[in-house]
Amino acid sequence: MINTIAYGLTIGAILYIISIGLSLTFGTMRIVNFAHGLIYTIGAYLLITILPFARGNFVLGAALAVLAVIPISYIVERFVIRKLYGVSIDYAIIATYAVVLIGIDLIKWIWGASPIPLSDPVGIDVTLAGVTLPLYRLLIIIFALVIFGVLTVFFKKTMVGKIVVAALEDKDAVKSLGISVDKYFAIIFVIGSCLAALGGVLYAPITSVHPYMGMTVLLLSFAVVLVGGLGNIKGTFVSAFVLGLVMAITGRFWGPAAETMVFVVMGIMLVFRPIEV
């Protein structure tokens, strides 16, 4: 049972890292960003490309992969997302989905369609309370907690963070203070995309890397965002870990139902607390 919980917490940690960017774009710009899953996939593929150059140094490779995502996400923001502000939300969904189609085809073109396995970069098991766990999974959980802490400080103490929090509450009021909200949204978008890529990089050694890996995770992240509340930083954190545990515990009893159960929870949540977008 402890093993299942640890597994659930790992999934929750990954889901949190990915969802936070999605939640912020959803909350601030009212844009459903399907391209987020694409960035996640690209992060994992970049890691595979960079690893041989980094002489197998995982930390260096991961850092470079995350940094390499910045220009890509900026291009997506500048040429697609920015044109969608204030447009009907349907067009945003369709346009970002189109970006995903293009991106997945590019990935297939560059790296091929077959899955690429990646080994555990730490490879050490630790024994906690009589249960043996891979250290890598524990590190991921700690990492997510650190990111949560850093983001909390970022939104409370820094100017950029404060502006974004204010814009989440009332975008027009922030605009009327003479602050160029769009610029900050672009920053937030890039930070969110970097976190998505980080999620991809961290999760790559646990699963295999393939062009469609982003789509399943994206659906799960949407569930996290909808359960946690749009643009709700703490809510996203809680719901990611809760849904991660839901997945792990369901998966323990009936493997194939794990992901479906998340959507059931999301459906129940939406019925009792519909979100107006």
Partner 1 sequence: MVQQGTGKKNLLEILIITAGFFVVLPILGINRTTDFIIFCIFVLGFNLLYGYMGRLSFGHMLYLGTGAYAVTLFTEHVSRNPFLAVLAGICAGALIGVIIGPLVVRTTGACFALINLAFNQVGHFLALVAFSKYTGGEDGMSAYFSKIGFIDFSKKPIIFGFVLICLLLTYYLLRKLTSSPYGVLIKSIKENETRVKFLGYNTFRYKWITFIISTSIAAFAGALTILNYGYVTPSFIDPSRAVEVIFATLIGGAGSLYGAIIGGVAYMALSNYLASYISRWEMFLGIALLIVVFRFRAGVWGYIVGKFRKKAEVLER
Interaction site with partner 1 (CB under 8 A) = 26, 30, 32, 80, 83, 89-91, 93-95, 97-106, 108-109, 215, 219, 222-223, 226, 256-257, 259-260, 263-264, 266-267, 270-271, 274-277
Judged by CB, which is closer to partner 1: 108, or 252? 108
Least Å from the CB of residue 273 to partner 1: 11
Judged by CB, which is closer to partner 1: 22, or 188? 22
Judged by CB, which is closer to partner 1: 82, or 162? 82
Least Å from the CB of residue 240 to partner 1: 17
Residues 6+ apart with CB under 8 A from 222: 22, 32
Least Å from the CB of residue 221 to partner 1: 11
Least Å from the CB of residue 89 to partner 1: 4
The residues facing 127 across adjacent strands are: 132
The whole-angstrom distance between residue 206's C-alpha and the CA centroid of its chain comes to 16
Handedness of CA 158, 163, 164, 169 (dihedral sign): positive
For residue 180, the number of C-alpha atoms closer than 13 Å in the C-beta half-sphere is 4
Judged by CB, which is closer to partner 1: 98, or 153? 98
For residue 28, the number of C-alpha atoms closer than 13 Å in the C-beta half-sphere is 27
Least Å from the CB of residue 42 to partner 1: 15
- C-beta of residue 48 within 8 angstroms of C-beta of residue 62: no
Q: Strands, E, within 105-235: which ranges?
A: 125-128, 131-134
Judged by CB, which is closer to partner 1: 140, or 266? 266
